[in-house]
Amino acid sequence: MALQSSGVTFRKILSHFPEELSLAFAYGSGVYRQAGPNSDQKNAMLDFVFTVDDPVAWHTKNLKKNRSHYSLLKFLGPKIITSIQNNYGAGVYYNSLIMCDSRLIKYGVISTNILIEDLLNWNNLYVAGRLQKPVKIVAMNENVILRSALDKNLRSAVTAAFLMLPESFSEEDLFAEIAGLSYSGDFRMVIGEDKTKVLNIVKPNIAHFRELYGSILQENPQVVYKTQQGRLEQQINHIMDPPGKNRDVEETLFQVAHDPDCGDAVRLGLSAIVRRSSIRQSTKGIFTAGMKKSMIYSSLKLHKMWKGWLRKTS
């Protein structure tokens, strides 16, 4: 994944936090334009994820700099906060509805090791799922293992999408499958999220998805990538009998490919992972954000869902 240029706003916001970050990225409707109820970029909340090698040390410093960002859990100290971060939900600790440089932001903190595990093995497909879609990398260190895991996550997303698509399909079909991987089974897609969320993400951002996946697709022996026409054709024999030895998620996906119902099998497997992690992470969010902020955040999500429903029926 190439290091993308970031705006002054992102760098300025990052300056308010402790510097020890292995990766920091911004994502969501406040970063990339979306269709539908999330189309208002100017007033959209900015979402960040901060990846840190030592969460206890990072939260210790952040509690000194930004104590007001935390719920009542701040009184339990950085070790308990880190334990909650690592051992519950999807391994992320979110502080929500924070005013920073006149922008409303939300930021999650995740351990570098836990992120690498998710990228390679899709344990939760939570932050790994965020990184399968275009994001703005604001800061990144020279962690070779992390960089390799980020690349493998993208390649695994492509392989999973191939298994759920026909022999011939468009770029939009592919990117919609990839963007939908981490929403499959997410209970928030039933309560609180706009049902057309995936297409609203993909349609205005085809160029950004192409930038993210273009080189992977051109090098992939499984497909013929007709860039001018924006179409792809699968080479089934490569999927059924891949060259060389694959590892991690990709190895599992290639094994599943021998099942004639492999697409359904992949969807069921992903749904089980995402359903579990999304429910646990959302439950955890009630405590990390605090009851008041959780109610405000939930009402904003429901409002977006209602706006999306009105658009569809009007």
Q: How far is CA 28 from CA 73, 153, 200, 202, 227, in A?
A: 26, 19, 11, 12, 26
Query: What confidence tier does 3 reach under pLDDT thresholds 50, 70, 90?
Result: very low
Give a yes or no: residue 3 inside a domain: no
Q: What is the pLDDT of residue 72?
A: 87
With contact defined as beta carbons under 8 Å apart, do 61 and 260 qualify?
no
Residue 2 in domain = no
Task: Indicate the pLDDT class of residue 5, thresholds 50, 70 and 90.
Answer: very low
In a domain, 1, yes or no: no
Query: pLDDT, tens digit, for every residue of 225-246?
Result: 999 999 999 886 555 555 555 5
Residue 31 domain-assigned (yes or no): yes
Q: Please check the confidence at residue 305 and state whether its pLDDT lies above 60.
A: no
E strands along the chain, which residues?
23-27, 46-52, 92-100, 103-111, 136-140, 168-170, 223-226, 231-234
Q: Has residue 105 been placed in a domain?
A: yes
Say if residue 314's pLDDT is above 60.
no
In a domain, 222, yes or no: yes
- Residue-wise pLDDT for 265-285, tens only, equals 777 777 777 777 666 666 655
In the 8-state DSSP scheme, what is residue 2? P
Instruction: Residue 27: give the domain boundaries.
Output: 8-313
Number of domains into which the chain is organized: 1
pLDDT per residue as tens digits for the range 23-70: 999 998 889 988 876 666 666 789 999 999 999 999 999 999 999 999
Which range has the worst mean pLDDT, 39-48, 136-145, 167-176?
Answer: 39-48
Is residue 54 in a domain? yes
Q: How confident is the model at residue 258 (pLDDT cuts 50, 70, 90)?
A: low
81 or 260: whose pLDDT is higher? 81
Please check the confidence at residue 91 and state whether its pLDDT lies above 80: yes
What are the two backbone dihedrals, phi and then psi, of residue 282, each rounded to the nearest 5 degrees?
A: -70, -40
The reported pLDDT for the residue numbered 269 is 78
Q: Label the pairing between strands 46-52 and 103-111.
A: parallel
